[in-house]
């Protein structure tokens, strides 16, 4: 039996226009998801589209409903077979399922059905399933009109089915800069040199591209890891199109004939191309054609980079095996056309490994990201700082440390068991080079200062120096350095118990060691006074006293991340500028950092005396309303209230709109206009997840009590389905700006009754019921208080 929450949710669909439950919920397999078969009949389906006026769909619901996933798939029969934007590839499903695989996306992306980062998806059992099917109806309407892709949305490619291809993957390196190199090559073809990696296996990277005359067109740059992890080289071909190979509604060619038909208006014949490249690629273990095309980052935007999609090339028999043909270019073309015309295209997984693409989830700012960095000290703090820098986008790093990685270092270090006994700097460099295909990390197994010429060249050319040794001798050596250009140089170290971070940075031609020592000296004495050897250190080895400080890795990671953030800020230091900071953690070990003020701390609350409904509004929102009233005086004014329901009986107002420009304002009358109201509400819903809650209104020189016209307006709103608000709220402001302004709140009901709300102050404050709002805020030219 389905859970009661799901049964109730399905029953609620009886009142949803356009949705008919055919069967379910039932379980297709024991213990699997619940399945609901429905017919969807939206109001507005474009007659010329491939979307049927009525179609059958299967809704797959997680057993944990109202939690878990809800997916909506077209039926094998009586539904759409095409693939549209914001839909998985709509191919036939498994033999034992009556639905296809084209799950439609109704909970993410796209503005046409009110989707964005803040969709406001409900969590309650009686609303969540209904919400998904309402949006499925909207999705079908938008799909039939070709409106699923809206300008300004992130651009998404159609899905290239790779189920029939081998596990090989293609990795390329394309940026906005390389697009400029390719612009003169649209419609052309050539050859590409691939390198196969040892790890990860089955990955082929583009090493360089050549035109059909074997001239180099583009040579992408890769990091140290790539050059040292190549197991083989091979050659393929490339073909560059002017536009993505997309067939309406949103599909890529499935067969070579589909591709030929798509390109029939161009000068490109894929069968002729296959014959031309056959002699180059036929003997290689990895036969691949890269199909390239420019793509934007946003729908409707300009092209920003080239995307390459790999195709595995199957064998074509010799032309001599065809009756009447020889091994001529024409014969090879005919052989390719005969062999491939009905063949499916074997698309390969293809990814852009460009540095900009790999850092999209977050990276440090360019001054530090593009800097050449010298890190001195690869211990606990230094190794963690290095790890963070590389993962945050720093690609040019040199590490200096003469010590060996020992078994005791495992407790707080980024290196692992296989590196025990190796030099810290060299082992760490090897590890970090595997973090990104664009990183070049060098490790020097010597102590600072460096002495050999090649090492000195590195020091002379750096932009940033980070000292994590806590060594006075290193600081003195840095003080002796004289750079030709100013260098950002920092020294960072932890206190004995890691409860403090000492950070000093300078931007100058040498490191001002004496200034650092002067500022650090009081803290050194404090650390010395606080240090208790019996509590803060333990013998690391048996036999004699080898003191090791007791510091946990989570503390090291906290301070390492802090150092990166401080460095990022200090890239703006002026010449000879310095900064000394001591950050301290709390008694429980957590860093003591300033916290952002929690939102909605200035809430004022009203309660309904009969229905137990409460209404909350930030004082800043009230302040904005009163400012508009003061500006409009002596004319009436008003606007819309929007917010959200925190619970069934609690509403929180978040935004109050200005009066629309087409509003009719008089000294004793006000008619709220409609211009841009729908757009304002839609933006509020999409960006903040808030909805219409009611109106606000101003009576200049009068009281904050309801007038007959106010009651008529709110009764109409409560009874009109278009507003979707059966219990609208009204805030009334009355009085004179030069004297006293009073605020009262009212709650209306669909049965034409209403309640005047009582103001009780902040939600957690002392209850002080009053019909009129009393708020201690200074308004320009106005005073807000109780009306008598």
- Residue 449: cis peptide before it, omega within 30 degrees of 0: yes
Q: Are 131 and 121 in contact (CB under 8 A)?
A: yes
The residues near 199 (Cβ < 8 Å, ≥ 6 apart) are 229
The residues near 786 (Cβ < 8 Å, ≥ 6 apart) are 740, 742, 770, 772, 773, 774
- Chain centre distance of CA 262: 34
Beta bridge partners of 591: 585
**Calpha distance 313→315 (Å, rounded):** 7
Find the angle CA(538)-CA(543)-CA(547) to the nearest 5 degrees. 25
**Calpha distance 649→342 (Å, rounded):** 63
- Chain centre distance of CA 786: 48
Which residue in 416, 579, 432 sits closest to 505, CA to CA? 579
**Calpha distance 645→690 (Å, rounded):** 9
**Calpha distance 415→428 (Å, rounded):** 7
In the numeric block, which tokens belong to residue 705?
């009590």
Q: Are 641 and 695 in contact (CB under 8 A)?
A: yes
For 494-508, b/e burial (b = at least 16 CB within 10 A) is bbbbbbbbbbbbbbb
Which residue in 640, 712, 709, 652 sits closest to 676, CA to CA? 640
**Calpha distance 403→410 (Å, rounded):** 14
What are the Cα distances from residue 330, in Å, to 265, 266, 287?
A: 21, 19, 22
The 3-state DSSP composition of the chain as helix, strand, coil percent (nearest 5) reads: 25, 30, 45
**Calpha distance 322→326 (Å, rounded):** 8
- Chain centre distance of CA 222: 26
For 593-625, b/e burial (b = at least 16 CB within 10 A) is eeeeeeeeebbbbbbbeeeebbbbbbbebbbbb
Helix 513-530 vs helix 472-480: angle between axes, to the nearest 10 degrees?
170
**Calpha distance 613→650 (Å, rounded):** 6
**Calpha distance 373→397 (Å, rounded):** 5
**Calpha distance 669→697 (Å, rounded):** 10
Greatest pairwise CA separation for the chain in angstroms: 107
In the numeric block, which tokens belong to residue 140?
């079908």
In the numeric block, which tokens belong to residue 68?
């878990």
Backbone angles phi, psi at 577, to 5 degrees: -80, 145
Q: Are 690 and 684 in contact (CB under 8 A)?
A: yes
In the numeric block, which tokens belong to residue 733?
């402001």
The residues near 67 (Cβ < 8 Å, ≥ 6 apart) are none
Rg of the chain's alpha carbons, rounded to an integer?
A: 34
What are the Cα distances from residue 639, in Å, to 602, 675, 696, 705, 733?
A: 22, 12, 5, 17, 12
Positions annotated as catalytic residues are 636
- For the chain, give me the number of helices (H) and strands (E)? 19, 35
Give the SS3 label for residue 687. helix
HEC profile for 178-190? HHHHHHHHCCCEE
Which residue in 602, 497, 630, 486 sits closest to 559, CA to CA? 497
């Amino acid at each position: 039996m389905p859970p009661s929450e799901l049964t109730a949710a399905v029953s609620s669909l009886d009142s949803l226009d356009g949705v008919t439950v055919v069967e379910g919920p039932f379980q297709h397999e024991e213990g699997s998801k619940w399945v609901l078969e429905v017919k969807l009949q939206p109001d507005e389906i474009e007659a010329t589209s491939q979307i049927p006026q009525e179609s059958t769909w299967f809704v797959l619901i997680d057993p944990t409903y109202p939690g878990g996933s809800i997916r909506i798939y077209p039926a094998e029969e009586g539904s759409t077979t095409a693939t549209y934007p914001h839909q998985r590839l709509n191919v036939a499903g498994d033999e034992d399922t009556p639905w296809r695989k084209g799950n439609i996306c109704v909970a993410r992306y796209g503005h046409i059905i009110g989707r964005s980062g803040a969709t406001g998806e409900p969590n309650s059992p009686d609303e969540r399933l209904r919400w998904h099917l309402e949006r499925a109806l909207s999705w079908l309407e938008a799909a039939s009109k070709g409106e699923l892709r809206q300008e300004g949305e992130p651009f998404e490619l159609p899905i290239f089915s790779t189920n029939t291809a081998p596990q090989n993957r293609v990795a390329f390196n394309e940026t906005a800069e390389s697009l400029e190199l390719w612009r003169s090559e649209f419609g052309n073809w050539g050859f590409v040199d691939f390198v196969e990696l040892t790890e990860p296996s089955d990955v082929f990277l583009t090493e360089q591209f050549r035109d059909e005359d074997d001239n180099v067109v583009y040579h992408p740059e890769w990091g140290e890891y790539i050059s040292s992890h190549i197991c083989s080289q091979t050659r393929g071909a490339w073909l560059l199109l002017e536009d993505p190979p997309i067939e309406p509604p949103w599909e890529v060619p499935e067969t070579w004939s589909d591709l030929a038909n798509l390109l029939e208006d161009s000068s490109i014949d894929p069968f002729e191309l296959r014959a031309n490249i056959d002699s180059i690629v036929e003997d290689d273990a990895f036969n691949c054609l890269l199909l390239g095309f420019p793509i934007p980052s946003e729908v409707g935007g300009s092209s920003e980079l080239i995307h390459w999609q790999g195709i595995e090339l199957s064998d074509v028999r010799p032309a001599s095996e065809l009756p009447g043909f020889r091994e001529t270019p024409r014969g090879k073309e005919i052989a390719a056309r005969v062999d491939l015309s009905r063949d499916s295209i074997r698309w390969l997984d293809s990814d852009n490994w460009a540095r900009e693409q790999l850092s999209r989830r977050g990276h440090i700012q360019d001054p530090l990201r593009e800097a050449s960095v010298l890190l001195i000290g690869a211990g606990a703090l230094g190794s963690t700082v290095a790890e963070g820098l590389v993962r945050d986008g720093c690609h040019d790093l040199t590490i200096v440390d003469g010590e060996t990685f020992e078994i005791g270092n495992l407790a707080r270090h980024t290196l692992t068991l296989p590196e025990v006994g190796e030099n810290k700097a060299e082992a760490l460099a090897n590890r970090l080079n595997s973090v990104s295909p664009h990183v070049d990390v060098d490790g020097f197994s010597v102590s600072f200062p460096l002495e050999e010429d090649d090492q000195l060249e590195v020091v002379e050319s750096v932009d940033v120096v980070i000292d994590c040794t806590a060594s006075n001798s290193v600081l003195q050596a840095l003080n002796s350095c004289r750079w030709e250009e100013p260098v950002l140089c920092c020294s960072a170290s932890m206190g004995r118990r890691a409860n403090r971070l000492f950070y000093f940075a300078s931007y100058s031609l040498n490191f001002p060691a004496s200034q650092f020592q002067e500022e650090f000296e009081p803290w050194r004495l404090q650390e010395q006074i606080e240090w208790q050897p019996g509590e803060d250190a333990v013998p690391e080895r048996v036999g004699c006293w080898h003191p090791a400080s007791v510091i946990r890795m989570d503390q090291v990671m906290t301070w390492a991340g802090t150092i990166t953030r401080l460095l990022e800020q200090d890239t703006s230091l002026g010449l000879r500028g310095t900064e000394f900071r001591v950050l301290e953690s709390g008694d429980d070990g957590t860093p003591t950092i300033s916290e952002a003020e929690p939102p909605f701390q200035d809430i004022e609350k009203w309660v309904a005396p009969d229905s137990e409904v409460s209404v909350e509004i930030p004082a800043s929102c009230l302040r904005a309303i009163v400012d508009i009233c003061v500006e409009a005086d002596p004319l009436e004014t008003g606007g819309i209230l929007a917010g959200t329901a925190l619970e069934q009986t609690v509403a929180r107002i978040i935004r109050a709109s200005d009066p629309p420009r087409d509003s009719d304002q008089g000294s004793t009358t006000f008619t709220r206009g409609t211009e841009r109201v729908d757009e304002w509400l839609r933006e509020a819903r999409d960006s903040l997840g808030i909805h219409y809650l009611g109106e606000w209104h101003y009576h200049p020189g009068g009281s904050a009590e309801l007038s007959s016209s106010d009651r008529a307006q709110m009764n109409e709103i409560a009874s009109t389905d278009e507003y979707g608000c059966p219990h609208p709220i009204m805030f009334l402001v009355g009085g004179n700006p030069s004297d006293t302004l009073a605020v009262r709140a009212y709650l209306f009901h669909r049965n034409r009754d209403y309640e005047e709300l009582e103001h009780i102050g902040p939600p957690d404050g002392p209850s002080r019921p009053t019909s009129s709002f009393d708020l201690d805020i200074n308004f320009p030219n106005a005073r807000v208080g109780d009306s008598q």
